[in-house]
Amino acid sequence: MRYEIIIPNPGSDEMGASFNSLFVVLGQLDTITINDELIINLQDLSFVHPFLVLPICCFLDKVKQQNVRVDIINVGRINNYLETIFFPQGFNSLAYDEWKQFLLSFRHKTYLPICQIPVAVCDLKMREDLLTSFENILLEQLRITGQMVSVVKYLMGEAIDNIVDHAKVEGGWIMVQNYPKKGYMDICILDGGLGILGSYQTNQISGVDDDVDALEHAVNGNSTKKITETRGYGIDTSRRMLVDGLKGKYVLFSGAAFYVYTNELEQIISLDRNIKWHGTMLALRIPCDAPEGFNYAMYLE
Amino acid sequence: MKLVIEIKKYLSSTIITRKSIEVLKAACLEESLEFCVFDFSEIDFISRAFADEFIHFIKTLDIKTEIINTNENVTEMIDAVQRNRGKRKSSYRKIAVTKFGKTEELDRFLSLI
């Protein structure tokens, strides 16, 4: 079958606006199957928000492997930008010998290309090098210093380790957009793998029956692995550090459950079954400056 | 036999994932090893995940070990992991769960984020 999906423009930089558009898209993608044809129409899109665009990249990558033919049309005014950020295929460092030099060319910009995160064990050194370079360029773009350097590295590190350790995928994805005049950066890190529920089920952890349960357990720091009580801190510490400490925003989306933690609210939204992320998506809005009195080390457990 | 492992020769200046420990494990395979020094010079940052694996690894080595040249970030992370080994949160927090019946209600919620 042939499907055409018009990507709705979020209309604002608010996180919720991106997710609103994303949910509209996911609801239409739910029925795509092997050998279908998918047209992605960007006629309405005027700005490329990571929380909308990165999951689309991951989804398109997955369906192409299922012989779905994908065409992207009406890129119009954002075409040059989309090419610069490697939409939709993402920048694959494994395919470029000079990947470090290439990423360095972004250090005076306000964005970084969509990057694939290699996960295979044999790519370990490449992965760590890539992420180190990525982080350092990001910090240089926003001239972040002091303990905010540790914060950004902590938040990104824990999220990426969760993909490598739990998702059972060949690769993850990361995209960053900086808003220097607004004083924050948006980081989206995701995978199209098992999802949090799938990870608990694979490890035969009892008492986790659906996506909502899975998110609640993850936020409470219950590891998906049976071994050792020293695991399970990443999500809980990250969300407290970002929101309680820095007044940022933390969103975790896996399966049909959507966890939001901000200064104003904490909720899990149980979504309709056709709005589902097959994997795990982390969306962070990180202020560039720490409030007075913030102490990064206080949040480490 | 004493072995000094300069971590910077094996890993990046920012060490992120648990699996990075495999590199150090391979470096410590020497059978007659009695004392291992882990030199963290030029390592800017380690994730909590890696710190957890590292502490677990050196405790299983069953030989004398020493950690040297850690910067403030690395020291804080290793200390945090060591401080919390054996402890576990006993409380479980229920989080409010909402299922919206109408699309407009979900839209309204998303406008709050």
Identify the CATH number of the domain in which residue A80 sits: 3.30.750
Do A116 and A236 fall within a single domain? yes
Condensed to tens digits (0 to 9), the pLDDT of residues A33-89 reads 989 999 999 999 998 899 999 999 999 999 999 999 999 999 988 999 999 999 999
Point out the domain boundary residue: A22, A50, A85. Answer: A85
- Say if CB A188 and CB A282 are below 8 A apart: yes
Question: What does the alpha-carbon distance between residue A241 and residue A250 come to, in Å, rounded to a whole number?
Answer: 10
pLDDT of residue A233: 67
Is the pLDDT at A226 greater than 80? The verdict is: no
Identify the CATH number of the domain in which residue A145 sits: 3.30.565.10
Structure-block tokens of residue A277: 């992320």
Contact B48 A20 (CB under 8 A): no
Task: Provide the CA A119 distance to its chain's centre, in angstroms.
Answer: 15
Minimum-distance CB partner of A16 among B11, B77, B112:
B112
Per-domain residue ranges for chain B? Answer: 2-110
pLDDT class of A121 with cuts at 50, 70, 90? low
pLDDT class of B2 with cuts at 50, 70, 90? confident
Expressed in angstroms, the distance from the first to the final Cα of chain B is 58
Do A65 and A96 fall within a single domain? no
Do A105 and A71 fall within a single domain? no
Condensed to tens digits (0 to 9), the pLDDT of residues B48-90 reads 989 999 999 998 888 899 999 999 999 999 999 998 877 766 6
pLDDT of residue A17: 96
Point out the domain boundary residue: A25, A56, A85. Answer: A85
Question: Helices marked H in A167-284 — which ranges?
Answer: 195-202, 211-219, 234-239
Do A53 and A199 fall within a single domain? no
Do A34 and A109 fall within a single domain? no
Enumerate the residues of chain B whose CB falls inside 8 A of the CB of residue A264: 112
What share of chain A in percent tops pLDDT 70?
A: 96
pLDDT class of A213 with cuts at 50, 70, 90? very high
pLDDT of residue A227: 54
The per-residue pLDDT of chain A, averaged, comes to 90
pLDDT of residue A170: 81
- What are the beta bridge partners of residue A269? A258, B98
Distance from CA of B13 to the nearest CA of A (A): 7
pLDDT class of A174 with cuts at 50, 70, 90? very high
CA angle (A282 as vertex; A288, A51 as ends), nearest 5: 75
* The total number of structural domains that make up chain A: 2
pLDDT of residue B90: 64
Do A114 and A169 fall within a single domain? yes
Do A131 and A276 fall within a single domain? yes
Which amino acid belongs to residue A10? Answer: P
Contact B17 A14 (CB under 8 A): no
Is the pLDDT at A243 greater than 90? The verdict is: yes
Do A182 and A264 fall within a single domain? yes
Do A201 and A62 fall within a single domain? no
Do A195 and A280 fall within a single domain? yes
DSSP string, A2-62: EEEEEPPP--SS-HHHHHHHHHHHHHHHTT--TT-EEEEE-TT--S--HHHHHHHHHHHHH
Element containing residue A261 per DSSP (H, E): strand A257-261
CB atoms within 10 A of CB B112: 13
Judged by DSSP in three states, B108 sits in helix
Question: What does the alpha-carbon distance between residue B65 and residue A188 come to, in Å, rounded to a whole number?
Answer: 38
Distance from CA of A287 to the nearest CA of B (A): 15
Measured in degrees and rounded to the nearest 5, phi and psi for residue A83 equal -65, -40
pLDDT class of A28 with cuts at 50, 70, 90? very high
- Say if CB A189 and CB A163 are below 8 A apart: yes
Question: What does the alpha-carbon distance between residue A54 and residue A280 come to, in Å, rounded to a whole number?
Answer: 12
Distance from CA of A50 to the nearest CA of B (A): 15
Q: Quote the domain boundaries for residue A75.
A: 1-85
Do A109 and A203 fall within a single domain? yes
Question: What does the alpha-carbon distance between residue A298 and residue A273 come to, in Å, rounded to a whole number?
Answer: 39
Point out the domain boundary residue: A85, A101, A131. Answer: A85
Contact B15 A164 (CB under 8 A): no
Minimum-distance CB partner of A301 among B84, B95, B110:
B84
pLDDT of residue A225: 64
- Say if CB A296 and CB A257 are below 8 A apart: no
Do A95 and A168 fall within a single domain? yes
Is the pLDDT at A223 greater than 80? The verdict is: no
Minimum-distance CB partner of A15 among B16, B19, B113:
B113
Residue in chain B lying closest to A15 (CA): B113
Contact B84 A267 (CB under 8 A): no
CA angle (B37 as vertex; B31, B43 as ends), nearest 5: 125
Question: What does the alpha-carbon distance between residue A117 and residue A127 come to, in Å, rounded to a whole number?
Answer: 7
Is the pLDDT at A116 greater than 90? The verdict is: yes
Of 3.30.70, 1.10.3470, 3.30.750, 3.40.50, the CATH number of B2-110 is: 3.30.750
Minimum-distance CB partner of A16 among B95, B99, B113:
B113
Contact B12 A125 (CB under 8 A): yes
